[in-house]
Structure 1
Amino acid sequence: MSQPSNKPTLTPQFCFNETALRDFLRLSRATIDDSIIQNLNALVTPARDGFDPSSTAERQVQPARRRPIDSAACQAFKEKVLFQSWQTRSDVLNYCAGVALDPTDPDLILREAETAKDRERVVDERLDPYSGRFFPREARTESLANLIRNERGVEGIIRARTWGLVTERCGDVGIRWEEALNRWRESTEGR
Structure 2
Amino acid sequence: MSQPSPRPHLTPQFCFNQTALRDFLRTSRSTIDDSITQNLNALLTPSAKPFDPASTAVRRLDAPDRSIPRAACDEFRERVLFPSWKVRSDVLDYCAGVATSPDPDDPDSVLRQVEDDRARERVVDERLDPYSGRYFPQEARTESLAMLMRNERAVEKIIRSRTWGLIGERCGLKSDSAEDAFMKWRKTQRDSS
One-letter amino acid matched to 2:151: N
| 8 Å Cα contact 2:103-2:142 kept in structure 1 | no
Partner of 1:32: 32
TM (normalized to structure 1)? 0.89
Question: Shift in Å at residue 184 of structure 1?
Answer: 1.0
Corresponding residue SS for 1:54: helix
- Give the corresponding residue for 2:103: 104
How many Å apart are 1:23 and its aligned residue?
1.0
Stretch of structure 1 that moved more, 37-46 or 50-59: 50-59
Give the secondary-structure state (helix, strand or coil) at the position aligned to 1:79.
helix
- The answer on whether the counterparts of 2:33 and 2:160 sit within 8 Å (CA) in structure 1 is yes
Distance apart, 1:15 and its partner CA: 0.4
Give the secondary structure class of the aligned counterpart of 2:34: coil
Aligned counterparts of 1:59 and 1:20: Cα–Cα separation in 2: 52
Aligned 8 A contact 2:4 2:80 in 1 = yes
Partner of 1:9: 9
Instruction: Indicate the residue corresponding to 2:181 in structure 1.
Output: 180
Counterpart residue number, 1:52: 52
Corresponding letter in the other structure for 2:46:
P
- Number of corresponding residues: 190
Distance in 2 separating the partners of 1:59 and 1:45: 24
In structure 1, list runs of 5 or more residues that go unmatched.
Answer: none
Q: In the alignment, what sits opposite 1:89?
A: 88
Structure 2: how far apart are the matches of 1:17 and 1:66? 46
Displacement after TM superposition at 1:158 (Å): 0.7
Match of 2:154 in 1: 153
CA distance in 1, matches of 2:35, 2:91: 21
Superposed displacement of residue 56, structure 1: 3.8
Q: 1:19 to 1:59 in 2, by over 3 A?
A: farther
Q: How far apart in 2 are the matches of 1:184 and 1:53?
A: 45
Note closer, same or farther for the CA distance 1:167–1:114 as it changes in structure 2 (3 Å cut).
same
Q: TM-score, normalised by structure 2?
A: 0.88
Q: Distance in 1 between matches of 2:132 and 2:35?
A: 50
Distance in 1, Cα, partners of 2:58 & 2:34: 33
> How big is the shift at 1:53?
2.0
1:20 and 1:57 mapped to 2: Cα distance? 56
Residue matched to 1:144: 145
The 3 A distance-change label for structure 1 pair 55 and 131 is: farther
Deviation digits for residues 64-115 of structure 1 (CA, Å, limit 9, x no counterpart): 3232211111100000111011111000000000110121342444322220
SS in 2 for 1:157: helix
Partners of 1:138 and 1:66 in 2: CA distance: 54
Native 8 Å contact 2:67 2:170 kept in 1: yes
Alignment root-mean-square deviation, CA: 2.1
2:28 is matched by which residue type in structure 1?
A: S
Identity %: 64
Q: Which amino acid aligns with 2:113?
A: E
Distance in 2 separating the partners of 1:162 and 1:154: 12
